[in-house]
Amino acid sequence: GDSVTQMEGPVTLSEEAFLTINCTYTATGYPSLFWYVQYPGEGLQLLLKATKADDKGSNKGFEATYRKETTSFHLEKGSVQVSDSAVYFCALNDHQAGTALIFGKGTTLSVSS
């Protein structure tokens, strides 16, 4: 079945460091891919999305490129801030399998000043 695999955390970085959180997926069709962010005590918020191969989603300095050949959607940011500390979830929506988003386990990012 469809699945999403994320790198395990926690990821601990200093402010202004470069961030990569790896995400790979398995899907039967041509999914849309998403990154969601969960700040402490809150629900998930959509960070960015990509709907087809080679699309790049971007928001708030974060980027991720839909790579069909490697079935990946890695999240990157050039310079993290303390306020980026949160849990990041990679997710897919395989339109052939239904409309429920399938999430990875989440990666906790902790940024210190």
Q: Report the interface residues with other proteins, using CB under 8 A.
A: 4, 6, 32, 36, 41-46, 49, 51, 89, 93, 98-106
CB of 32 to other proteins, least distance (A): 6
- For other proteins, the closer CB: 18 or 30: 30
- 107: its two tokens: 């990666």
- For other proteins, the closer CB: 43 or 69: 43
CB of 45 to other proteins, least distance (A): 7
- For other proteins, the closer CB: 36 or 77: 36
Spatial separation of the C-alpha atoms in residues 56 and 51, rounded to whole Å: 9
Spatial separation of the C-alpha atoms in residues 94 and 109, rounded to whole Å: 27
- Pairing outcome for strands 107-112 and 11-14: parallel
CB of 57 to other proteins, least distance (A): 12
CB of 91 to other proteins, least distance (A): 8
